[in-house]
Structure 1
């Protein structure tokens, strides 16, 4: 497509697609229940009851009392490390660091390492493209699975699957078709890991802390994302083989899965919030 139409045409087509899709998504997606209950925009009761009907829950006669406690950034960070949240917070930070380090190594180094393993430039680009295309399905599959199973259990399966697939991919580069198939599966798995961590963070913290909790976890993860690609380059210069790097990356995914065993998350649901109904007045 690029060879036929040129780069500018491709970017223009992508921009037009974005302008078309974003307003449609904005119109069709329902608003967050937490936002409706805390911010109380216009027609909040009707919009909450519309969500209740869609989820098969009874409608509310009146909205629950609003939680007016909004922690500042500094107090929010301290709250993340309070005794009741310290363990899940540290586990999340460790998982974000490991997963984002492994994810950015895989996505940034795969084409170059495929060339190092003996593939042509065209074949390596195809492998990298399949890896990214697989990511489009990883999040959708995660959502379908978590509708039936606990999110933390599904996420651990994704992490352990990523560990095995990354090692299998490095060992399969001699068979082109097999390597491409495994590369697409890796895209599904590793992108699902990232999406699952975001969703898990939302389950750990209450609504007033979620923005701070997610922001802090992402910040820690970005440190891993910065360190991993440059570290891979140094290890290659030191004589490491692509297989050794991929095996190490698989171990990092596996370590993140084991780390999540230390945290059992009580799954909060919007259904529970709706079922709770209005908070009775204080005596």
Structure 2
């Protein structure tokens, strides 16, 4: 049996679960970096940065993530998944150290772009690897685990931030030195990460075949015939391959629109809820409580996605959870100053994290190996446009719109994502429900279409 079919049809052993766990670790760096910056802002010395410049520090981090996802992560389809992971981690270590050493605002802005680029590189590559190490039965579970790495990283970053700020008396540099040390530790651990067998198969060189034999042994795969080739991918045989080519354009645009709208609404909620609730209620403690409830709900959302993904397709989870998220956001708008706000805030966290995890899992499912990382990188990069613009837009309309109105707008945006999700689910059901067999469902189905 060929390597790809063996991967998809055999049970996952300890080595494969360890490989997925390493992917989860790599994806925590994104959430860790974002949270450390948030904790550092109040502790920057007077005169170091104005309020506007502090906003730029957040936006520049998102800008770097977008650049890393769209420009650097796709290189994994050419030079290898593992090599790109190592480069992304190394860039994160250096950029966090450079942030800690920042003598000026300009230096820190440059360091934030580089740190964001490192984190933005890691997320799509880690998601792709998590999918490619999994069996067909555990694909949703594995990608879901990697996806909640961001929430795990932000939670760890928050806890570490509180500890460091308390221990070192508000020394913001210590935050980034701590982040650099954690990233360096993940870099050392990631050295044990094997290369993706799917990537080595499509490389089909003498060196790739030698590496593939070692990876097969490391993963504990048995009954593999290395000389046997899986069903060839049509896009890997000289035809033009790209996420916007005719074959993939429809699903790509739907993924981009659906994920970007959901992500924009989610980042608005997580970034502005503490401030908006504090303003409406007159209580900073209530604002902090709502922000904490959202964060805890997002961790629960990752678990919810994992449970759902083992039973139904990820594209179905997309529209179910975004529809529920729209209801939760509307409920929060109605109860923002009441006791029910805690429940609706938790529901937003659960449903939106599950929906975002389902979108990235769907992306891994809907593209062949040869462009899978490119597809994930493009999805993450396009969505970052919204995350960069949301703070600017909200800041501009803050004095003209009430908090309730803003959450109603967010409800409409999430509802749009749900409509897009239904369309994506209906158009790709033949792929996401394809039976297990040789090759990836996309490649197998497209190959049949080519022959007929």
TM-score (norm 2): 0.50
Superposed counterparts of 1:1-283, under 5 Å: 2=163, 5=167, 6=169, 11=175, 32-35=196-199, 37-38=201-202, 39-40=208-209, 41=211, 42-47=213-218, 50=221, 59-62=223-226, 64-65=228-229, 76=241, 79-176=242-339, 178-237=340-399, 239-263=400-424, 264-265=427-428, 266-267=431-432, 271-273=436-438
* Alpha-carbon contact 2:322-2:351 (below 8 Å) kept: yes
| 1:274/1:22 CA distance change after superposition, 3 Å | same
CA–CA distance in structure 1, aligned partners of residues 369 and 236 of structure 2 = 9
CA–CA distance in structure 1, aligned partners of residues 381 and 415 of structure 2 = 21
* Alpha-carbon contact 2:290-2:342 (below 8 Å) kept: yes
Give the C-alpha shift of residue 261 in structure 1: 2.2
CA–CA distance in structure 2, aligned partners of residues 211 and 94 of structure 1 = 18
Give the C-alpha shift of residue 44 in structure 1: 3.3
* Alpha-carbon contact 1:45-1:62 (below 8 Å) kept: no
For the aligned residue pairs, the C-alpha RMSD in angstroms reads 3.5
Give the C-alpha shift of residue 273 in structure 1: 3.8
CA–CA distance in structure 2, aligned partners of residues 84 and 231 of structure 1 = 35
CA–CA distance in structure 1, aligned partners of residues 261 and 359 of structure 2 = 11
* Alpha-carbon contact 1:92-1:217 (below 8 Å) kept: yes
Give the C-alpha shift of residue 251 in structure 1: 1.1
* Alpha-carbon contact 1:96-1:220 (below 8 Å) kept: no
Gaps of 5+ in 2: 1-161, 203-207, 442-452
CA–CA distance in structure 2, aligned partners of residues 147 and 30 of structure 1 = 25
Give the C-alpha shift of residue 245 in structure 1: 0.8
CA–CA distance in structure 1, aligned partners of residues 439 and 385 of structure 2 = 38
Gaps of 5+ in 1: 54-58, 277-283
Q: Secondary structure at the match of 1:272?
A: coil
Query: Counterpart in 2 of 1:279?
Result: none
CA–CA distance in structure 2, aligned partners of residues 217 and 208 of structure 1 = 16
* Alpha-carbon contact 2:276-2:403 (below 8 Å) kept: yes
CA–CA distance in structure 1, aligned partners of residues 277 and 269 of structure 2 = 11
Cα deviations by residue, 1:127-173 (Å, 9 ceiling, x for unpaired): 11221122122123212211111111111111111111111112212
* Alpha-carbon contact 1:33-1:48 (below 8 Å) kept: no
* Alpha-carbon contact 1:162-1:190 (below 8 Å) kept: yes
* Alpha-carbon contact 1:37-1:63 (below 8 Å) kept: no
Give the C-alpha shift of residue 102 in structure 1: 0.9
TM-score (norm 1): 0.77
| 1:88/1:245 CA distance change after superposition, 3 Å | same
Cα deviations by residue, 1:174-213 (Å, 9 ceiling, x for unpaired): 224x322322222222222222211111111111111221
* Alpha-carbon contact 2:318-2:356 (below 8 Å) kept: no
